[in-house]
Amino acid sequence: MNRVTSADHAASLVLKKAREAFEQGTFAVGGILFRNDTKEILVEKHNNVFVPISCHAQFMNDPTAHGERQLVSWYYENRSILNLPEPEEITLVTSLDPCLMCTGSLLKTGFNVAIIAIDEYAGINYDSKFDFRSLPESLRLLAQKKIGYYSCGNLDLDPKKLVRRYVGPKHLPFLKDTVSSENLSKCGTIFTKSVKHVDLIFAKIFDTKLDMMIDPDTLPDNSEIKKSFRKIYKNAFTMRTNSFGVGNLEIIDELKRVASNSRGDDNAVAFIDPFGNLVLCQSGNEKISPIRTALMEVIQNYSKTLWNLMNDENTRVIAKKTLAHPRFGTFLFLYAPEPDEPKTVMDLGAYSFTMYKNNPKKFSNLQYVNPPRKGEIKDLISLISNLPPFYSEQVNLTICQIPN
C-alpha cells in the first residue's frame, strides 16, 4: 500500500506526474488523492488536455481534462465500486494553484485541497493574497475552509520568493510540514515551460480559416461525422439557424425538451457550430456526479468525439475539413448560470479553457435564453469581471442573452 508520508513527499509525487504531462506535450500539472486517516494514495493523475493522435501529432483531447477535475471524476466513477470514503475524508494535492474550473469542482464536491505552486495568471490565488477575492462572497469562506497552501522553503537558506508560511484550514494533513524550495520551484517552472509549448500547438492546430471549411450538414447521413455525434445526441445536425452565432425558436424548444428529461438541475446547453448546425444539446448528469453539468457534458463530448475522429486515419481528413475548434461556435444555455453556485465557477472555467484564446468573433460565444433561476444576471457579470487575468486578458470572457 503506497502512502503519503509528508507534505514534501506529496509535492514530489505531484511533480512527478507534472513531468509526465510535460513529456506528453500537455500542461504540466499533476495531482493525487489520498485518505486523511491512513494517508493511502487512492489515485494519481496528470493533465490530459492534449493527447497525441495516431499520426503522432498533438491534438486536443478534452479541454476540461485538468489533473484536479480528472481526480474528482475518478472519485465518482469509483466511489461505489471501491467503497471510497466521503470527499471530506480525502485530500487532493495538486502541483499548481487550481484554475476556475477545478476550484469550482472541488468546492462543489467538498474535497480537502493542498497546493504547492502558485499560478499567477489563471490560478484562483493568482495574487497570493489567499482571500479568494475572485470568488463570489458566498464561496470565499468555503474556499478558506477547504483549500490550503503548504509552507515552503527555509527563510535562512532560500530566496524570499521560494519561502512561504502555511495558509489554510487547521485540519489539512501535513499542515505543519514544509515543502522544499526545490519542489516548489520545479512545480512552477515546469508548468510555465509547458504553457509555451502548448501555445505553439494551439496556434498550429486551431487557427482555422472557416472560409476553407466544408459545412458538415452537406455530408450524407451515413457519414462517420454525423454517425459519431448521433451516438451521443440523436438529433445532431437535424436543426440549424441561419443567423450565425444565434439560436432560433426551434433550437430553444429543443433546449426545453432536453432539459425536461434532465438527470440534473433541469437545465440544458446547446452547441451550435460556425455553420449554424445544432451539433449537441444535452442536460447534465449531476445525479451521477455533481460536476457533470450540461456544459461539461457538451464540451467533453464534442472534444472527445473530434479527437477520436482525428485519431482515425480513415476520418481524419474529413473531420479536419468539417469540424472547427469549439471557439468558433456558440454555447447556448437554457438558463444562465447561477452566480453564487460552485458549479457556475466550474462552468465559466471550463468554457474559458475551451476557448483558451480571445473570441475570434464580435459576439459572445457564451449565451443564454433565460436569466438565472437564482440570483441576478448583474451578479454573474460582476463575478466574470472579477476573475484572474487569464479570463479577461486572454479569453475575454463575456456572456450575453440570446438576441430576440
The pLDDT of residue 299: 98
pLDDT tens for each residue of 286-323: 999 999 999 999 999 999 999 999 999 999 999 999 99
Confidence of residue 81 (pLDDT cuts 50, 70, 90): very high
Looking at 152, 178, 204, which one is the last position of a domain? 204
Q: Which of 204, 233, 252 is the last residue of a domain?
A: 204
Cell of 127: 495574487
Question: Would you give the distance in Å from CA 91 to the centre of its chain?
Answer: 20
Shared-domain flag, residues 194 and 268:
no
Task: Give the pLDDT mean for 95-106.
Answer: 98
In a domain, 180, yes or no: yes
Residue 269 CA to residue 247 CA, distance in Å, equals 11
What is the distance between the alpha carbons of residues 219 and 317, in angstroms, rounded to a whole number? Answer: 13
pLDDT digits (tens, 9 = 90+) for 350-390: 999 999 987 666 678 999 999 999 999 999 999 999 999 99
pLDDT band at 261 (very low <50, low <70, confident <90, very high): confident
Q: Give yes or no: residues 321 and 367 share one domain.
A: yes
Does 361 reside within a domain?
yes
Task: Give the number of other Cβ atoms within 10 Å of residue 262's Cβ.
Answer: 18
* Banded pLDDT at 244 (limits 50, 70, 90): low
SS3 244: coil
Residue indicated by cell numbers 457533470: 292
Both 165 and 254 in a single domain? no
pLDDT(61) > 70: yes
Q: In angstroms, rounded to a whole number, what is the distance separating the alpha carbons of residues 344 and 291?
A: 10
Instruction: Indicate the number of domains in the chain.
Output: 2
Residue 262 pLDDT class (50, 70, 90 cuts): confident
Assess whether 375 and 267 both reside in one domain. Answer: yes
Within a domain: 2 = no
| DSSP characters over 293-321 | -HHHHHHHHHHHHHHHHHHSTTTHHHHHH
Whether 404 has a pLDDT exceeding 80, the answer reads no
| DSSP type of residue 390 | I
Sorting pLDDT into bands at 50, 70 and 90, what band is 266?
A: confident
Boundaries of domain holding 103: 7-204
**pLDDT of 204:** 79
Determine contact, residues 249/404, Cβ cutoff 8 Å: no
| pLDDT higher than threshold 80 for residue 1 | no
Do the Cβ atoms of 60 and 310 come closer than 8 Å? no
Average pLDDT, the chain: 94
**Cα(4)–Cα(13) distance, integer angstroms:** 9
Question: Of 165, 38, 29, 156, whose CA–CA distance to 95 is shortest?
Answer: 29
Q: Mark whether 223 and 169 lie in a shared domain.
A: no
Is 300 inside any structural domain?
yes
Are 177 and 217 members of one domain?
Answer: no
Does residue 1 belong to any structural domain of this protein?
Answer: no
Please indicate, yes or no, if residue 168 is contained in any of the structural domains: yes
Q: What is the mean pLDDT of residues 124-136?
A: 95
174, 204, 234: which is the final residue of a domain? 204
* 116/218 same-domain check: no
- The verdict on residue 222 lying in a domain is yes
- Report the percentage of the chain scoring pLDDT > 70: 97
pLDDT at 263 over 80: no
Which of 346, 357, 341 shows the shortest CA–CA distance to 99? Answer: 346
Any idea what the Cα angle at residue 27 is, between residues 202 and 91, rounded to 5°?
Answer: 145
* Distance (Å, whole) CA 170 – CA 338: 30
Whether residue 206 is predicted with pLDDT greater than 80 in this model: the reply is no
- Position 364 scores a pLDDT of 85
| CATH number for 290 | 3.40.140.10
Residues 155 and 233 both lie in one domain = no
Q: What is the C-alpha separation between 241 and 278, in angstroms, rounded?
A: 8
Q: Which three cell numbers, joined as nine digits, stand for 145?
A: 475552509
| Amino acid occupying residue 242 | N
Enter the DSSP assignment of 130. S
E strand map for 220-289: 268-272, 278-283
Q: Which stretch of DSSP H or E encloses residue 331?
A: strand 330-335
Residue 185 in domain: yes
Q: Are both 245 and 179 inside the same structural domain?
A: no
Same domain, 279 and 319: yes
CB-CB contact of 79 with 327 (8 Å): no
CB 371 within 8 A of CB 336: yes
β-strands 366-370, 330-335 pairing: parallel
pLDDT bin (cut points 50, 70, 90) of residue 77 is very high
Domain match, 228 and 168 both: no
Average pLDDT over residues 153-160: 93
Tell me the sheet residues that pair with 164. Answer: 152
- The answer to whether residues 323 and 284 belong to one domain is yes
